[in-house]
Chains A and B, each alone.
Chain A
Amino acid sequence: MSTTTGLAALATLLQVVAVVAAAPLLVGGMRQVRARLEGRAGGGIGQPWRDLRKLLRKQQITPAGTTVVFGFAPAVVAGTTLLIAAILPLIALGSPLDPAADLFGVVGLLFLGTVALTLAGLDTGTAFGGMGSSREITIAALVEPTIVLAVFALSIPGHSANLAAIVSATADHPGQLVSPGSLLAFVALAIVIIAETGRLPVDNPSTHLELTMIHEAMVLEYSGPKLALVEWASGMRLTVLLGLIANLFLPWGIAGADPSMLAILIGLVAISVKIALLAGVLATVEIFIAKLRYFRIPELLAGSFLLALLAVTASYFFATPTN
C-alpha cells in the first residue's frame, strides 16, 4: 500500500483532466481511422469536441412524465467514470483513492453507471427506451461473471485485487505476461470491455435503426446538454477501460507511487500512446466485423467466461515459481 505524496495527487488530478479532455479526441480518432479505412476523408479528430460544444449550447429539454432519475442519470454515469479515472493507475501508481477501491470496486462503479442509464431508459416509458434497457442489463448481467473472474485471475500474481499492487507486480515480473493465464485473462477482459462499451460486434455505435440498438436506444430521449454528458461519459468510459487494460498488461512507462515531475510527464505520454494504439487496433478490427445477432451475444460472453475460468485455472496450476 502506498503513501500518497503531493505529486502523486497531482498525477491523479492530471489523469482526470486528461481523460475529460482526451475522451472526445479518442472517439474522433477512432472514427477517423474508420473513415480512412473506408476510403473516406472523415470529420477530423476534433469533430466530437465540436459536437459537444454545440450540444452544450442547445436547449435543455425535459420529456413530459420523466422523473429525476432521467435527469440525473447522465451525471451519475459521467461521475462514476470520472471517479474510476481517479482510481485507476493510468499515469502514476499512487492515487490517493487506490486503497479506497480495488478492482472489484471499480467494476461495481462501472455497473452503477450502467444501471443509472438503464433506469433512465425505463423512466422515459417509451418502447425503445425499455428495449435498450432490457438488452443492456441482460448483457451486463452476463458480463459480470467474466469480468469478476478476470479480476480474480489478475489478482493471483500480486496476491491482491488492488490496482497498484497488480500493476506493480506485473511491472516487477514481466515474465508473467507470457503465461497462459495472463493471455487468457487479456482476451476475456478485452471481450467484456468491448461488450461494456457497446462496440462491435456486440453493439453498433453508429447505427440509425432503432430496432438494432442497445446503448443508443436508451438515450434516444436525451438532447442538448444532457446528451452531451452521455456522449462524453461513454467516450470517457472507453478511454479509462482501454487505459486499464493497457496498464494491466503493458505497465511500462507508468510513474511510481512517489513520482517526479518528469516521471509524471513520461507516464502521461506513455498512457496516451498506449490508449491511442489500442483504440487504433480496435477501430481497425471493427472494419472487418459485423454486429452479432443479439441472441448470439450470450455465446460470445459464455466463451469469454470460459476463457476467464481457464485463466484462473491456468494461473493456479501453471503457477511456476517466479524468481
Chain B
Amino acid sequence: MTTALPDSPTVPALDKALPAARRAHAQAVASGSVTAALGVLGVALGLSAVFGAPRHLRIGWLLPLVGVIFDLGPLGGFFVAATGAVSIAVGIYAVGYAQREHWARFPLVMLPLFVAAMLLVPAAGSVTTFLLAWELMAAASLVLVLSEHHRAQVRSAGAFYAVMTQLGFAAILLALVVLSAAGGGDAFATIAAGSGGISGGTRTAVLLLTLMGFGSKAGLLPLHAWLPRAHPEAPSPVSALMSAAMVNMGIYGLIRIDLQILGPGPHWWGLTLMVFGALSAVFGVLQASVATDLKRLLAYSTTENMGLVTLALGAATLLSSYGARQVAAMAMTAALLLILAHAAFKTLAFLGAGSVLAATGLRDLDKLGGLARRMPGTTVMFGIAALGASGLPLGAGFVGEWLLLQSLIHSPHENNTLLALTMPLSVGAVALTTGLGIAAMVKAFGVGFLARPRSAAAQAAREAPTSMMAGMALAAAACGVFAVAPAALGPLLKQVLAALPTVGGNEAGPALGAYLRLPGIPGSMSPGLIAVALVVAVLLALGLGRWGLRHRPAAAVVPLWACGADSLSSKMQYTATSFAEPLQRVFDNVLKPETDVEVTHFAESQYLVEKVTYRTLQADPLEQRLYTPVVRAVTTWAQWVRRAHPGSVHLYLAYGALGLLIVLVISR
C-alpha cells in the first residue's frame, strides 16, 4: 500500500483516511510514551544517584581509545531528574499535540532521541562522552526546531540556531580540550583530582571559554539571540523541552566544569557571573515586558530566569571566595530552587502556549483574548505558570527569589568594599527584574486569556484534548508543590549542595521545613502557612462582602458600560502593544523601539483624518549592535576567500598537497 509522504500536508483520500488516522494515533502514542518513559527512567536514575551511591559505567568498545564513561553523581543526578520530570510532562502532552498538529514521522522519532541526549549530558563522566552527548543534544534539538521547515521564519531561526549552537560547541570543545590536557586525563574524576596543578592562566582561559559556550546555551547575554528566535518557531512541546530542560544544561556545565572541577576561583569569577547574570535578567525581562508574541515573551523570560540563576551562582561563588560559606550555601540553594521552579513553570507555560497555538493558530497577543471562556482548563494552567514566573507568593518562583534576596542582603559587608558595592546593586537588579516580570506575566495572562477575543480565530478556540491537559496538569502539580511545600525538596537540595564544597556546600544550608529558616540568621518564611492564611483571609473578605445580603435586589448580568454608547467592539480593548506602551516609553533609551505614526488626511480637508496607522517594531538592540557587524565582517571575509575557489579540481588538489607539505615541514 502506498501512502502520502509523512511530511506532506495534503489530506489523504477519504478511503485511506481512517487507517492513516489510526496509524498517526499509534505513532503519536508511541513517541509520547517513549518520551515519558525515558523521563520516568531519568527521574528514577537521577534520584537514585542523588540519594544513593554515585553510578559509574564504562563502555569501552563504543569509542576507540577512550571509551564512553558515564559517572552520575548528586549534581548530575539533580539535572537528570529535572530533565526527566520535564520530559514526562512533555511526553504525555505530545501524544495529543502530535495528533492535533499532524506531526510527521521524523519529529516523532527525534523527540525521544532529544530527551535521551539531554539525559546523557549530565550523566557524562568524561570530556569525550560529554562532548558527544552535547553534540547529539544540539543536533537533535536543531532537527526538531526545523520540523515545520516549510515556513521561512523557521528556516531562518534554524540557521541562526545552528550557527550559534555550533560556535558555542566550538568554545566548549576548546575549553574542555585545554582542560583535559592541563588536568592530565579524559575522565572528569581524573581532571578534578589533578585540578590543583592547573595554572592560573589555563583556569582563566577555560572559564572564559566555558562562559561563552555554556552561557550561549543558557541564553545569557550577549549570546542569547538564538533563544527568542528558535524557541518561538519550534513546535511547542519542543520549545518546552528546550526552554525548561536544555538551557539548564548550560547552567549544569558552568557548575560542573567551573565550580566543581576548577573551583574555587578568585573573586572576579563570582563577580563576572553576577554581572552577566544581572544584565541577562534585566535585559531579558525588559524584552519580555514589551514582547507581543506569546512564545517570544516566554523565551525572553527564559533568558531572565537563567540570568537570575547565574546571578545566584555568582553570588555563591563570590561569597564563598570571601569565606562567607553559610550565605553562599543560601545563594546556591536559591540557584537550585530557581532552576527547578523555572523548569516547572516554563514547561507549563510553553505547553499552555502550545495549546493556544493549536486551538487558534495564533501566537500574537494582540489578536488573542477571551480564551478564559473557551479554554478554561488551559487558562487555569497558564495562570499557574504565570503566577510562578512572576515570583509572587503562591507562585513557584517565590521561594527561590526570596532566598536569593536574603542571601544578597545578608552578605558580610563589613570592611569589604566589593561586597558592599555589588550587593545593593544586585538587589536592585533582582527587584527590577521581579517587578517587570510581574508586568510581563500580567500582560501574557491578562491580554492573552481574559477580556474578549480580538480575532475570529480566538473566537473559535476549543479546549485542548485530555492528554494535553494531563501533561499540563502534571507540570502544574509540580508548580504547586514548589510554591507551597518547598520542604519536599529539602533532602534533595541538601544532597546536591553537599557535592558542591567550593560554594559552601558542606555548610548547613537553609532549613527547608514547614518554616524556611535561614542558617545563623533570624529570618524565616513559610509559604505553606501563607497560602493557608491567605485562603482564610479571602474567605473572610468574601464573608464581609455578604453583609447586607438580604437587603439586596436580585443579581443581574448587564452589558458592559460603554460610556452611554450601545456596545463596545473588541477593537476598543487594550492590546498587548498598548498595555506595554508605558514601559516601552519609560525604557525608551534601552529598548530603542522603532515606532512610526502615519496620518492620512481626507483629500478634501487637511483637518479631517481618514486613518492613523501606528506601527512599532521591537527589535533586539543588542542583536543589531553586536551581531550585524560580526555577520557583515564574516561575509566580507568569505567573499574574499571565495576568490581562492575558482572551481578547478586540480587547484583544490594542489591546496591539499600544499597543506600536507606544510604539516610535514612543521612537524619535522
Contact = CB atoms under 8 A, between A and B. Distances in A.
Q: Do chains A and B touch in the complex (CB under 8 A)?
A: yes
Interface of A: 1, 20, 53, 56-65, 67, 69, 72, 74-76, 78-80, 82-83, 86, 97, 99-102, 104-105, 108-109, 111-112, 115, 118-119, 122-127, 129-131, 133-135, 137-138, 140-145, 147-149, 152, 155-156, 158-162, 165, 220-221, 224-226, 228-229, 232-233, 294-295, 298, 305, 309, 312-313, 316-317, 319
Contacts of B568: 125-127
A227 to B, nearest CB: 10
A144 B394 CA distance: 18
B554 A65 contact: no
Interface of B: 289, 369-370, 372-373, 390-394, 398, 402, 405-406, 409-410, 413-414, 420, 424-425, 427-428, 430-432, 434-436, 438-439, 442-443, 445-447, 450-452, 515, 521-526, 529-530, 533-534, 537-542, 544-548, 551-562, 568, 570, 572-574, 578-583, 585-586
A100 B529 contact: yes
A69 B533 CA distance: 20
Contacts of B581: 134
Given A80-B537, A127-B574, A143-B435, A162 B523 contact: yes
A189 B581 CA distance: 27
A229 B451 CA distance: 22
B544 A135 contact: no
A127 B560 contact: no
Contacts of A105: 393, 402, 525, 530
A152 B547 contact: no
Contacts of B548: 53, 56-57, 225
A82 B398 contact: no
A64 B434 contact: no
B592 to A, nearest CB: 17
B439 A138 contact: yes
Nearest to A220: B561
A78 B573 contact: no
A122 B451 contact: yes
A105 B401 CA distance: 11
Question: Which applies to chain A's interface (DSSP): helix, strand, loop or mixed?
Answer: helix
A130 B579 contact: yes
Given A83-B530, A142-B435, A233-B541, 14 more contacts: A59-B556, A63-B557, A67-B373, A115-B442, A126-B568, A130-B578, A134-B574, A134-B578, A141-B289, A141-B439, A141-B583, A142-B586, A165-B523, A316-B413
Given A74-B545, A105-B525, A115 B553 contact: no
B557 A62 contact: yes
Given A56-B547, A138-B586, A148-B431, A109 B372 contact: no
A141 B436 contact: yes
Nearest to B540: A82
A293 B449 CA distance: 31
A166 B586 CA distance: 34
Nearest to B568: A126
Given A57-B551, A64-B559, A86-B537, A125 B438 contact: no
B420 A108 contact: no
B545 A148 contact: no
A225 B552 contact: yes
B438 to A, nearest CB: 6
A232 B544 contact: yes
A296 to B, nearest CB: 11
B579 A134 contact: yes
